[in-house]
Amino acid sequence: MNVKICGLKTPSDIDNCIKAGADFIGVVFFQKSPRHLSPANAAELSDYYDRNYSDSGIKKVALCVNPTDTELSEIISTSKPDFLQLHGIEPPMRVDEIRQKYGLPIIKAIRVKTQLDIKASQQYNFSADWLLFDAAASADLMPGGNGESFNWSLLADFECDLPWMLAGGLNPNNVAHAIAQTNPDGVDVSSGVEASAGIKDDLLISAFVKSAKTSS
C-alpha cells in the first residue's frame, strides 16, 4: 500500500515521514491553505531532503490548484518535485499539456460527490499517471485538506487503467476500514495526521502509515 503524507512544512515533518515509512511526501502551493509554502520555503525543504534522503526512494509531490505555466515553472525550479498533483478543475487537455511541457508524472485529484464524478475520472486515463479521489469540498472550504470524507462505497467496484489513491477525511482510526472497502493502490492524508491546522504530529503520522500498510 502506497502512503502519501501531504502538507509538509518543516524538516522534522520530512524526518517523521521517512521514519514512518511513507512512500510520497507532498508540499502545498495554494495560498488559502494553512499548509501553503512559498517557493523559497519549499526550496529549503527540498534541499534538506536532497542532503539527507536523496537515496530513500520517497517521491516528492508538489500540489497545485489550477496553476499557470509561470507558477509551475517557479514551483518546479525551486521544489524539484518528482510528481505534480493537480488539485483544481484542470481539464484533461490541460493536464496532458502540463505533463508534456514539464516531463513530470501527474497525480490528478478528482472531487467526488456522486457516482458520476467517479465515471468522469476516466477521461484522465490518457493524461494523468495517478488519480486521487477526494471529497468535493463545500463552497466555503479549500479544494482539499479539509478532513471531509465522501461515500467510499462509490468506489467499491471501481476499476481503472491507472493506479489511484483514496483521500478525504482519512486518519489512523479509519484508514484500515477505508482500504478494506475500496481497495486503492494508495492512500493520502493531510489534516488527519495533524495536531492543529498545518501542524503535523509525528505519532499520528507513524500510526497512520502503520495502519495503512498492515491492512493491505
Q: Is the model's pLDDT at 142 over the cut of 60?
A: no
1-28 tens-digit pLDDT: 999 999 999 999 999 999 999 999 999 9
| DSSP string covering 139-183 | TTS-SS-S-----GGGGTT---SS-EEE-SS--TTTHHHHHHHH-
State pTM to two decimals: 0.93
Catalogue all structural domains in the chain, each as residue range(s) with its CATH number.
Answer: 2-215 (3.20.20.70)
154-174 tens-digit pLDDT: 998 888 899 999 999 999 999
Q: Is the model's pLDDT at 144 over the cut of 50?
A: no
105-125 tens-digit pLDDT: 999 999 999 999 999 999 999
